[in-house]
Amino acid sequence: MKSQGRDDLGAFFEPRGVAVIGSLKERWSGGYGVIKNLLRFGFAGNIYPINPSYSEILGVTAYPTVTQVTEAIDLAIVVIPPPAVPAVIGRCAQKGVKAAIIISDGFAEASKDGAKLQKQVVDIAHRTGIRVIGPNTIGIANSANGLVINPYPIDSDRIWRGAIAYGSQTGMLGPQGLQRYASPMSKICDLGNKCDVNEIDFLNYLANDPETKVIALHLEDVRDGQQFMDTVRKVAAQKPVLVLKPGRSEAGAKAATSHTGSLAGNDQVYDSAFKQAGIIRLNTLQEFFEMPKIFAYQPLPAGNRIAIVTMSGGGGTMAVDTAVQSGLTIAQLSDTTVAKLARLAPRLAARNPVDCGPVMPVVDDFLPIHQAIIAAVLSDTNVDCAAIFLFAGARFPTPAIVNMFDRLRQQASKPMSIWIGGAKLSLIEELSYQLETLGLPTYFSLEAAIKALGIAADYAKIKSRLNRETDIYQRSNFLT
């Protein structure tokens, strides 16, 4: 592994050896849970349980102290009572450990005494060069190598490897929370109290991470506003940065302060700064889970003109409202496309939104016509992106729909988002999973499917602006 600088978090996400320091008693959380998850998800590096009361745990040899391990250790996981943490971090630094994740809570977020302990940890880290994530964190994950540092059980046997990096200050955004949404993940990092490693370090690391296409951050505060903005501008010129910042209300800001021991700050200031830096701000936890998928799976739209293909006239009308609210323009279909649609089905509403509802009940084999309709719309030069509404049910077998979209995605280079409705949640989830394995983002609400395309079109403009500003800045420096 290459040598580690301040912005290189490789020891956290690509360690060769991991020490787990703390209680190894079998229970639903703690050091035992960390080791169990590392083994379960196939981490290929060496694991070193550290506890003087055990000779082995889960078939892995245990050691009394970290200094008695003869092999190199890159990363230490600390799950012990707070008063003992500073001394353990010191021993890790003495051993040559490059990085530590402090899962234990009870630090600055809890009390003045906890804040003093946290300052001791920071002093040791700065003096020795060891990097620290936490305290008060559930850990990190890297889907590329099976590294899942998490003290809690995860109800899945695999992490869906993909292109979204999630950073947060809450444990609910770990693998156990994200798995429900089948989010294609590259990296996960719960920053906790951010005593050392913070969102700026994480952004700099992800900027050069080939596995990551889009970055989603949940932040309760930003410590160094100017450095954060400068960093985001550089990163967002390459990859979209989406941020969920709670604490919009006074009560929410107080809750954020008590959770991580940080100052949440004025929300209007954050809002203005985020826009200047090129951040796409998210409003809800649901958006945090769902919106990044459009960037992980689809190309950016060339513009903001959207086509809507629906099976319900009412749904199409609601989609138009959401599209306009999301900054999209309803595309004017070309005469050529209108003629194609009319030939495909005389009863088809050959305008945008394209309502397939009148056609569906009167033809025996609807899917070939449906495919031809979507293909005609996507090939229209007046269309930049398309939202497509599907039903999961007996008349629309999942394999047939998946085959249809497999052919469509090979023909079209424009971004699509899909909303799936239906009477049975199990059928909706199965179709959603199958389509996402093809690289097609699916959503459980009409509004989310439309808004995702609006956010993608927004970022296309942001990226262009940031790169233009960078070019002007570089040219002005050259001339001076």
Q: Which pLDDT score is estimated for 328?
A: 98
Residue 357 is predicted with a pLDDT of: 85
Q: Could you report the per-residue pLDDT of 394-421, keeping only the tens digit for each?
A: 888 999 999 999 999 988 889 999 999 9
What is the mean predicted confidence (pLDDT) over 311-334?
Answer: 94
Q: Which residue has the higher pLDDT, 220 or 294?
A: 294
Q: Are 148 and 43 in contact (CB under 8 A)?
A: yes
* pLDDT exceeds 70 at position 181: no
pLDDT band at 298 (very low <50, low <70, confident <90, very high): very high
Instruction: Please state the domain extents for the chain.
Output: 10-293, 299-460
Mean pLDDT of the chain: 90
What is the pTM assigned to this prediction? Answer: 0.90
> Nearest Cα to 296, choosing from 165, 432, 410?
165
Most confident region among 137-141, 259-263, 359-363 by mean pLDDT: 137-141
Which CATH homologous superfamily contains domain 299-460? Succinyl-CoA synthetase domains (3.40.50.261)
Spelled out in words, what is the top-level CATH class assigned to the domain 10-293?
A: alpha beta
Query: Is 219's pLDDT higher than 70?
Result: yes
Q: Which two tokens stand for residue 344?
A: 């495909």
Band the pLDDT of 362: cuts 50, 70, 90.
confident
pLDDT of residue 308: 97
Domains 10-293 and 299-460 share a fold: yes
Asked which of 14-18, 256-260, 374-378 is least confident by mean pLDDT, the reply is 256-260
Between 98-102, 109-113, 157-161, 377-381, the lowest mean confidence (pLDDT) is in 157-161
User: Which pLDDT tens digit goes with each residue over 227-279?
Assistant: 999 999 999 999 999 999 986 555 444 554 444 444 445 778 888 889 999 99
Whether 38 and 69 have beta carbons less than 8 Å apart is answered as: no
Burial of 474 (0-12, 13-18, 19+ CB in 10 A): exposed
Instruction: Tell me the pairing of strands 56-57 and 60-61.
Output: antiparallel
